[in-house]
Amino acid sequence: MSVQNEDTKRRDFLKGALTGLGLGTFATMGIFSYSPMREFFLPQMVRKMKDFGACKSIKITNISETSWFDNATLMGDIKGAGGLLVNQYLFNWPPFGDGTGLAKGSYEKGIAKIKHLLPNKLEEAWKIAEENSVNPQNAGGFAALIEIERLDGVKKKYLLDTGWSYAWMDESFKREGIDKMLANGEIEALIISHEHWDHFWGLPVTMKYAPNIKIIVPEGFYPEGFQYIKDSGHKGELMVHKTGINDIEPGLCAIVFDVPIINRVFGEQSIFANVQGKGLVSISGCCHQGIIQFISMAKKELKYDNDQMYGIYGGLHISPFDDWDPKYDDLVIGLAKWDFKAIGCNHCTGLLTARKFVAAGYPVVQGTAQHRSKSKVYLGNGDTMVFG
């Protein structure tokens, strides 16, 4: 056999080997990757069962779930500004309106017009904001009062979020007596779920009554957000919760998710309560991380009574703008397996979602549709829900 033939053979062998390598790799990808055999290599879930205590009961009062009053107006602004990824501080929405029009604003120019009036001259500040802002009449806000009854009977209060419009939030605070609770120091802390306009920009209303209150924000706040806390007149402790589990008090913890959200906001914290003898209650401002994400994390990380997902309260961020997507159907279908006993939802959950929950037979707690809340499928403004 000649040397040339040996070379040819080697070349052919190499050619065959490399062709086979590609074929073998792609064929195994196709055959193995989505077969039941793949589960062999998947990591098994190890439940950590972190014990964060228990409480006797949780009562939630919805101060305001109406973050904006008209979806079409809000989405018109977002569309006009250039879509869902435009930085919220650029919109020229109140209170940061500077008179230059939609999507041409900035935190610095906006706050300069009202900073000197914060936190005590809110009516005057809001009037200036109204004159300089885009669609100021559409601003509302989300805020809820969480009352926890400890196992020894002692009750503690936390404010979850502080809304958007100074005028609307002040009205809502007064309606529910939050103004007095803040002024009397009855509320332990203000927990901000995330930096969005409708949960955070009403901060001076809380500062007006309790400038020394402890504020807890999730990791991911932008410099503008931290500056606004200072500019609003805050003089108390500011705590930044890191991604993951953060204890608040026995039976109550916050979980921070490093979740990207529209209008450049990043990071959200939601709350869990372990109600003795009942199970786990999830409480959220917007739940951008997704309610099933939220509860599946709890299943992995936390220990709770009866190993039962007991209740949900809050904005669940499914179809907040009258929008829909097939993945939301996945959520509506997927929620069944968690066997919740009581669901109270509002705000960014979306009315269509709430109606689909009802149609699916979930235990949705009805509201009263009062104080400008639109539907009884929501736990609306002024409505309460008790777990335990």
Q: Is 290 in the site for another protein (CB under 8 A)?
A: yes
Question: Rounded CA gap, 181 and 175, in Å?
Answer: 12
85 binds another protein (CB under 8 A): yes
Q: How far apart are CA 288 and CA 284, in angstroms?
A: 9
Among 55, 63, 81, 213, binds another protein (CB under 8 A): 81
Residue 87 or 137: the one with the smaller Cβ distance to another protein is 87
| Among 63, 335, 345, 364, interactor with another protein by CB under 8 A | 335
Strands of the sheet with 187-191, listed across from one edge = 238-241, 214-218, 187-191, 155-160, 143-149, 57-64, 384-387
At residue 174, the 3 state secondary structure works out as helix
Pair 377, 354: CB distance under 8 Å: yes
Q: Which is nearer to another protein, 296 or 308 (CB)?
A: 296
Residues 90-129 that bind another protein (CB under 8 A): 90
The token pair at 272 is: 């869990």
Q: Which of 311, 310, 257 is nearest to 287 (CA)?
A: 257
In the complex, minimum distance from the CB of residue 309 to another protein, in angstroms, rounded to a whole number: 13
Q: How far is the CB of 329 from another protein (least distance, A)?
A: 5
Of 235, 333, 360, 370, the residue at the interface with another protein (CB under 8 A) is 333
Residue 76 vs 363, nearer CB to another protein: 76
360 touches another protein by CB under 8 A: no
Based on CB atoms, which residue is closest to another protein, 210 or 298? 298
Instruction: Decide: 268 and 218 in contact? Cβ < 8 Å.
Output: yes
Question: CB-wise, 146 or 354, nearer to another protein?
Answer: 354
In the complex, the smallest distance separating the C-beta of residue 17 from another protein, rounded to whole angstroms, is: 4
Q: Does residue 37 bind another protein (CB under 8 A)?
A: no
**Interface pick for another protein out of 22, 36, 153, 361 (rule CB under 8 A):** 22
CB 258, min distance to another protein, A = 6
- Which residue, 229, 178, 238, 185, is CA-closest to 210? 185
- 10 Å CB burial of residue 308 (0-12, 13-18, 19+) is middle
Pairing between β-strand 252-260 and β-strand 266-275 as defined by DSSP bridges: antiparallel
Residues in 240-269 at the binding interface with another protein, rule: CB under 8 A: 258-262, 264, 266
Interface with another protein, residue 296, by CB under 8 A: yes
